[in-house]
Amino acid sequence: MQANDLPPMPALWRAVPRARVLVFAPHPDDEVCGPGGALALHRRQGDAVRVVVATDGTSGDPEGRFDPARYPQQRRAESRQGLAELGVDDVAFWGFPDSCVLSEADLERAAAIATAAVRDFQPGLVYLPWRREGHPDHHALFTVVTRALARATFAGLALGYEVWNAMIPDVVVDISPVMEQKRRAMLAHHSQLAYTQYDHSIAGLNAYRSLQHLQGRGYGEAFVVVAGTPPLGFAGPGTA
């Protein structure tokens, strides 16, 4: 193997850029599992953060353990509670069904709504699922949001986050100071923890992300650059 066959070392960010932040989440809980630590850091430094949750996650109860009449409201309440742990109180729910086969017309309808969301909030930084997420709803939202960013002539920075599939990142954000907030935010999603102990798995992924720059101590969140360039003062790939 030649040295140039190796992937570049991701940049380490000890802080997040100051910006108005817009987050796109496929289901209630992805907003905390993916970039939850980064969102807590944004709020600590006073950045405005708005979260958009695309679906109500109504397929998240396959065994019917919860009242189906109240389940969408329950998942929205869990999302609000989890985000409150991060200091975020601005959240919008599109209410689309999840785990569906989407047509081109479906994607276009969602892209129009996402374009309006970008134009309305005027973010400088957008978080969205990264391109190779293994869940079809995550991948669909990547498609929707990237179309929206192009149509809104978005000129800021867009970062893709990981939940289902680990990436080779461009950036690792040190979230060690806010990891307990993120853990509490994940624990707010009781309906999902009834099926999967994902707080354990995501914490393990975040611990793994400390390996390259933090000597395996602490926690990190990984991101890939989807659009734009990190602002002046933030290191490029391969630097710490």
Task: Determine contact, residues 195/11, Cβ cutoff 8 Å.
Answer: no
Alpha-carbon gap, residue 98 to 70, rounded angstroms: 16
What is the b/e burial string over 10-27, where b = at least 16 CB atoms within 10 angstroms of the residue's CB? bbbbeebbebbbbbbbbb
Closest of 98, 88, 99, 163 to residue 131, by C-alpha? 163
Task: Determine contact, residues 131/160, Cβ cutoff 8 Å.
Answer: yes
Mean pLDDT of 173-190: 97
Please provide the average confidence, as pLDDT, over all residues in the chain.
Answer: 91
Neighbouring CB atoms inside 10 A of 63's CB total: 7
- Name the burial class of residue 64, with classes exposed (0-12), middle (13-18) and buried (19+) by CB atoms within 10 angstroms of its CB: exposed
**pTM, 2 dp:** 0.93
Return the amino acid letter for 165: N
User: Does residue 240 register a pLDDT over 90?
Assistant: no
Give the three-state DSSP class for 222. Answer: strand
Neighbouring CB atoms inside 10 A of 208's CB total: 14
Give the three-state DSSP class for 236. Answer: coil
pLDDT of the residue at 98: 78
Task: Determine contact, residues 209/174, Cβ cutoff 8 Å.
Answer: no
pLDDT of the residue at 146: 97
Give the three-state DSSP class for 47. Answer: coil
Level-2 CATH architecture, domain 13-226: 3-Layer(aba) Sandwich (3.40)
Give percent above pLDDT 70 in the chain: 94
Instruction: Enumerate the domain spans of the chain.
Output: 13-226
pLDDT of the residue at 66: 85
Secondary structure letter of residue 5 according to DSSP: G
Confidence of residue 2 (pLDDT cuts 50, 70, 90): low
Mean pLDDT of 23-30: 96
Neighbouring CB atoms inside 10 A of 44's CB total: 15
Alpha-carbon gap, residue 76 to 91, rounded angstroms: 10
Mean pLDDT of 127-138: 93
For residue 51, the Cα-to-chain-centroid distance in whole angstroms is 9
Mean pLDDT of 183-210: 95
pLDDT digits (tens, 9 = 90+) for 91-114: 999 988 777 667 788 889 889 999
Confidence of residue 127 (pLDDT cuts 50, 70, 90): very high
pLDDT of the residue at 232: 64
pLDDT of the residue at 92: 97
pLDDT digits (tens, 9 = 90+) for 40-59: 999 999 999 999 999 987 77
